[in-house]
């Protein structure tokens, strides 16, 4: 038996592939890699922007990624204001306060962040400077 033949047989015996099997495996590996790259690219582009909203008792808020617009609603004439807190990409806390009550307009706060930046926000009811009934923190992207 030649030395080359025994190397191929030894590789196959250890769980490897023969030279012919290795050639067939490469195109499949390349296709699998290309598919994974396409999936990451698609998922990455989906997270570049997001719009969301949430309601709490007596109010609510929404974040619109295009234009970085944070809107706070006060749905009740109950003596409580509604306040939205937004952490921008630089770590600064922004406050958007609506004291307009049920008949009043929504409070619209417009920010300017770099595209794709992560922001975190929540909304609370407020009375005498104390926050109540806060929503969970939400994550969005500009």
Q: Identify which of 51, 55, 53 has the alpha carbon closest to the alpha carbon of residue 125.
A: 55
The answer to whether the beta carbons of residues 61 and 53 sit under 8 Å apart is yes
What local confidence, expressed as pLDDT, does residue 49 receive? 53
Q: Between β-strands 59-64 and 52-56, what pairing exists: parallel, antiparallel or unpaired?
A: antiparallel
3-state secondary structure of 118: strand
Asked if residue 105 lies in contact with residue 77, where contact means CB atoms within 8 angstroms, the answer is: no
98/64 Cα distance (integer angstroms): 17
Give 35-96 as a 3 state SS string.
Answer: HHHHHHHHHHHHCCCCCEEEEECCEEEEEECCCCEEEEEECCCCCCEEEEEEECCCCCEEEE
- The whole-number mean pLDDT for each consecutive block of 10 residues of the chain, a chain of 142 residues, reads 42 40 42 40 43 94 95 93 95 94 90 93 96 96 90
In the block, tokens 């769980």 appear at 15
- What's the rounded Cα separation, in Å, for the pair 31 and 11? 25
Q: CA 57 to CA 66: how far, in whole Å? A: 27
């Amino acid at each position: 038996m030649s030395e080359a033949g025994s190397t191929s047989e030894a590789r196959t015996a250890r769980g490897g592939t023969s030279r012919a099997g290795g050639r067939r495996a490469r195109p499949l590996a390349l296709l699998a890699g290309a598919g994974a790259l396409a999936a990451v690219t698609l998922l990455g582009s989906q997270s570049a922007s997001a719009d969301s909203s949430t309601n709490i008792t007596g109010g609510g808020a929404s974040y619109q990624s295009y234009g970085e617009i944070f809107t706070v609603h006060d749905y009740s004439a109950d003596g409580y204001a509604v306040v939205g807190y937004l952490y921008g990409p630089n770590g600064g806390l922004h406050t958007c306060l609506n004291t307009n009550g049920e008949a009043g307009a929504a409070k619209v706060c417009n920010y300017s962040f770099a595209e794709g930046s992560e922001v975190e926000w929540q909304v609370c009811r407020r009375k005498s400077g104390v926050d109540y009934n806060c929503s969970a923190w939400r994550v969005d992207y500009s």
